Amino acid sequence: MKTLPNIHSGDVLLEAFLNSLGISQNALALPPRRLNEIVLGKRSISADSAIRLAATLATSERFWLGLQADYDPEQARRALGAQTRKIARIAA
């Protein structure tokens, strides 16, 4: 079965908001370096960033944190790969 790509919250920010709505990175209430790292997938969206994005883009902070919460465990699962099968279960 083909594995679907794990979409980073920065990709959603870039494609669904910045590019599609024509918003510049400078218009958002985030420090430029932080925003750039998020868009490049090099940084997670923190609670602080989520609140700032929600206020600027008329979304909720839970939207941004939810995207990040979906992304992080999937990335960890993929990074661990077969190692998780070697972990002994201690409860059913």
Domain ranges of the chain: 9-86
From first to last of its 92 residues, what are the pLDDT tens digits of the chain?
788 899 999 999 999 999 999 999 899 999 999 999 999 999 999 999 999 999 999 999 999 999 999 999 999 999 998 888 888 888 86
Contact in structure between 39 and 69 (CB atoms under 8 Å): no
- Phi and psi, residue 20, nearest 5°: -70, -30
CATH annotation of 9-86: 1.10.260.40
pLDDT score of 87: 84
Query: What was the pLDDT predicted at 83?
Result: 87
Q: Could you tell me if 56 and 29 are in contact, meaning their C-beta atoms sit under 8 angstroms apart?
A: yes
Task: Give the per-residue pLDDT at 39.
Answer: 97
